[in-house]
Amino acid sequence: MFNLKAKYVEQNTLTACLPSNFNNLLTKYQLTMIELLDVMKIPKDDPVAFTFFTGYMAMAAASVFFFMERSQVDKKWKLSLLVSGLITAIAAVHYYYMRDYYGATGENPTALRYIDWTLTVPLMCVEFYLLTKLAGAKKSLMWKLIAASVLMLVAGYIGEAFNPEGGSTSHSVMWGVISTIGYIYILYTAWFGEVAQLAEKSDSAAVKKGVRTLAWFVLVGWAIYPIGYMCMPGGWLNVGLGWDASNVDLFYNIADAINKIGFGLVVYGIAVSESKDYA
């Protein structure tokens, strides 16, 4: 654990020889610093706190990257990169607050996490629409995917946040199954449904490959979230195998970083290869 707070208190002895108003000013400054340092401390043996911090920084850096690179690609891909940047920017803001919440309480920031997902996952679905738009995707596809993602997240939130004390299996399973219906719909659409068919119809090899890669993200990357959900008290894996939720935040943080930044990088890759003037 960082011991900077103690160092600041030690240095306080120096202030005795300074004017009294300066002393007051410095005390205020010191308090602010101490509060800030208190928030920022990352225990060495706490990988969850570490991943909250790195997740926040990675999301912020990815946002800057996507926004800056937006000017380098063809006009038709600018919106896709804007959405990629928005996904990571929204996540970065939420990670900033989640990091604080976790640092202060040591608990899962469930509500903040679901607010983040409720905003970013539908945006990922918008990416599918934007990528296949040139191959003839209709807006109805976008709305269907958004509706499925909202169903998945709202049901997941109810299942996780309103789980009775100690965990209720019937509650967890019921909302988990409802949530999974939304997930399976997106999965099917990305692999075999409208998105896959439109990508196949597309003239661009980069779009075909990119949509398939995004479908892999949905299959493997997104599957980490239901596994985390099943480890909550009363969940499938918690009841059946005794897996607990202590490391859920760690998995969520790693999965978030891979899924959101990775998702954006795939879109960026398509945009770059499809932009004639990219240098």
Partner 1 sequence: MNKIGLLFFISIYIVLSIFAWVGNISMETQIIWCVAGIMLIGIPHGAIDHIIYLEGKKEAGPVFFYSFYFGLMGIYILAWIWFPIMSFIAFLLLSAYHFGESQFSDIKTIPRYFHPLINLIWGCSILSGLIFYNTEELILFSQTADGLAIFNIVFDTGFHQLFLPICTLCIIALLFILTYYKYIQPERLLREVYILALIHFCFYVLPFMIGFTLYFVVLHSFSVLAEEFEYLHSKRVDFSLTHFVKLLLPFTLLSFIGSGCILYLAYLGYIRVPGALLVLIFISVLTLPHSVVMNGFYEKFYRRSAP
- In the complex, the smallest distance separating the C-beta of residue 27 from partner 1, rounded to whole angstroms, is 56
User: How many residues touch partner 1 (CB under 8 A)?
Assistant: 24
What gap in Å lies between CA 186 and CA 53, rounded to an integer?
Answer: 30
User: Contact letters (x/-) for partner 1, 199-218, by CB under 8 A?
Assistant: -------------x---x--
Token look-up 């607990």 returns 244
Q: Which of 92, 230, 255, 261 binds partner 1 (CB under 8 A)?
A: 230
What tokens were used for 218? Answer: 């949905």
Q: Would you say 161 or 223 has its CB closer to partner 1?
A: 223
- In the complex, the smallest distance separating the C-beta of residue 189 from partner 1, rounded to whole angstroms, is 12
| CA neighbours closer than 13 Å in the CB half-sphere of residue 16 | 6
CB 214 within 8 A of CB 199: no
What tokens were used for 197? Answer: 């068919």
Which residues from 233-272 bind partner 1, rule CB under 8 A?
Answer: 235-237, 239-241
Q: 178: Cβ–Cβ under 8 A, 6 or more apart, which residues?
A: 151, 155, 159
User: Contact letters (x/-) for partner 1, 124-153, by CB under 8 A?
Assistant: ------------------------------
Residue 177 sits in the site that holds partner 1 (CB under 8 A): yes
Distance of CA 128 to the CA centre of its chain: 17
- In the complex, the smallest distance separating the C-beta of residue 208 from partner 1, rounded to whole angstroms, is 11
Q: What's phi and psi for 106, nearest 5 deg?
A: 75, 10
Residue 187 sits in the site that holds partner 1 (CB under 8 A): yes
Segment interacting with partner 1, rule: CB under 8 A, options 2-10, 28-36, 135-143, 231-239: 231-239
CB 88 within 8 A of CB 59: yes
Residue 31 sits in the site that holds partner 1 (CB under 8 A): no
- In the complex, the smallest distance separating the C-beta of residue 173 from partner 1, rounded to whole angstroms, is 5
CB 50 within 8 A of CB 25: no
Q: 115: Cβ–Cβ under 8 A, 6 or more apart, which residues?
A: 94
* Rounded (to 5) percent helix, strand, coil in the chain: 80, 0, 20
Segment interacting with partner 1, rule: CB under 8 A, options 21-29, 116-124, 156-164, 184-192: 184-192
User: Contact letters (x/-) for partner 1, 54-93, by CB under 8 A?
Assistant: ----------------------------------------
Site residues (vs partner 1, CB under 8 A)? 169-170, 172-173, 176-177, 180, 184, 187-188, 191-192, 212, 216, 219-220, 226, 230, 235-237, 239-241
